[in-house]
Amino acid sequence: MTRYRAVLFDLLTALLDSWTLWNRVAGSDDTGLAWRRVYLKLTYESGAYVPYENLVRDAAVQAGVDVKRAAELIARWSELAPWPEAPGVVRELRERGLRIGVATNCSNALAPIAVGCVGAPIDVVVTAEDAAYYKPRPEPYRLALQRLGEDARDVLFVAGSAADVPGATAVGMPVFWHNRIGLPAADPRVRPLRVADSLTPLLELA
């Protein structure tokens, strides 16, 4: 018996370890984190879609990172790696009969590359470019639900970034927060079903 009909994942943080690649390209963990924080701020403030690659570049400039690093990051996108347990968890969920989707803020050009790095089949992929807005606006989540053909209450959302927790909750999805690196909550008033530093406990919920 499954509790849900589908599971929808954040791609770059919940399924993939994008932190490591950003840090490698930046040259250090501290520089990578500073760059990533500015990039997330720009993404969330943007709302309506502007080219993702431009946001990555603008964030580098604002964070004091050589702008050439932004082009290098995009060129090395295929080096993204899944969290160790991610492929097995996705396969197990699919074997139980659940459909699997991802809702990502990356572009239509980069999303297929990132999805290919997961190492397990994905049924539905929605990008911010598709939806014309960036998460945590509701449009990407709602488009993913539409493509899955499911009601929000029947889809478990797996957040990676803190902002996805209130974002997905606001459209009616229950949320599991895969908080791998111990991020602070974006809104402490919004509580996910569970918070864990691994995807494995997700199998107990789905």
pLDDT digits (tens, 9 = 90+) for 86-119: 999 999 999 999 999 999 999 999 999 999 999 9
CA distances from 177 to 2, 18, 186 (A): 19, 16, 12
Residue in 34, 25, 10, 167 with CA at minimum distance from that of residue 82: 10
Residue 102 sits at φ, ψ, to 5 deg, of -130, 145
Q: What does pTM read for this prediction?
A: 0.96
Please check whether residues 116 and 176 belong to one and the same domain: yes
Q: What percent of the chain has pLDDT over 70?
A: 100
**Distance between terminal CA atoms of the chain?**
9
Please check whether residues 123 and 74 belong to one and the same domain: no
Would the pLDDT of 132 be above 70? yes
Range of the domain at 69: 19-78
Among candidate residues 78, 105, 127, the one where a domain is terminated: 78
Q: 1 lies in a domain?
A: no
Please check whether residues 30 and 89 belong to one and the same domain: no
Among candidate residues 40, 62, 78, the one where a domain is terminated: 78
Label residue 1 by pLDDT band (50, 70, 90). Answer: low
